[in-house]
Amino acid sequence: QKTESTYRHQANIDDEVVTMEILDTAGQEDIQQKEGHVRWGDGFVIVYDITDRGSFEEVAPLRSLLEDVKKPKNVPLVLVGNKSDLDHVRQVGTEEGERLAAEMACAFYECSACANEGGAVAEAFHELCREVRRRKAVQGKARRRSSTTHVKQAINKMLTKISS
């Protein structure tokens, strides 16, 4: 049974301590629940499985939901293709992920929650934090003394291991 969990994770990003509140959604919510998650989040990691084309096809509708709920603001977002250790059963090419991320104007990472070589999982989260920070600065809401940036996220498929 799919479950929803929350995590708190602290990281030092560009010499600033950031506390992330992470919501790992189960991906089976109804539309009201999904919208609630989207309202709650400051930033989003959308994760698909490179060995499952269906999961890749769920990205665009999710992105539309984010846009609809957050508009007129644009949404801090990163796109992650997970399970890069399973390259031999890959169904979604790296270039396809890159192209989709370019369309969505967001950063893209391929990574593996199991074999997290090069720390791509952490890098994806760190980049999301930077993006949230940039948007807040642009919106004139940057609070210089705040050492706690809450990055909240709602996604359909999520990495459960975060290491930095």
Q: Which residues bind ligand GTP (CB under 6 A)?
A: 2-3, 26-27, 82-83, 85-86, 112-114, 157-158, 160
Smallest gap from Cβ 80 to ligand GTP, in A, equals 10
Beta carbon nearer to ligand GTP, 69 or 86:
86
Smallest gap from Cβ 153 to ligand GTP, in A, equals 13
Beta carbon nearer to ligand GTP, 27 or 36:
27
Beta carbon nearer to ligand GTP, 75 or 158:
158
Smallest gap from Cβ 78 to ligand GTP, in A, equals 16
Distance CA 67, CA 44 (A): 11
Q: Which helix (H) or strand (E) holds 16?
A: strand 16-24
Sign of CA dihedral 137, 141, 146, 149: negative
**Cis status of the peptide bond prior to 72, with omega within 30 of 0:** yes
Smallest gap from Cβ 26 to ligand GTP, in A, equals 5
Beta carbon nearer to ligand GTP, 85 or 96:
85
Q: Which helix (H) or strand (E) holds 122?
A: helix 120-138
In 25-134, the DSSP E strands lie at 44-49, 77-82, 107-110
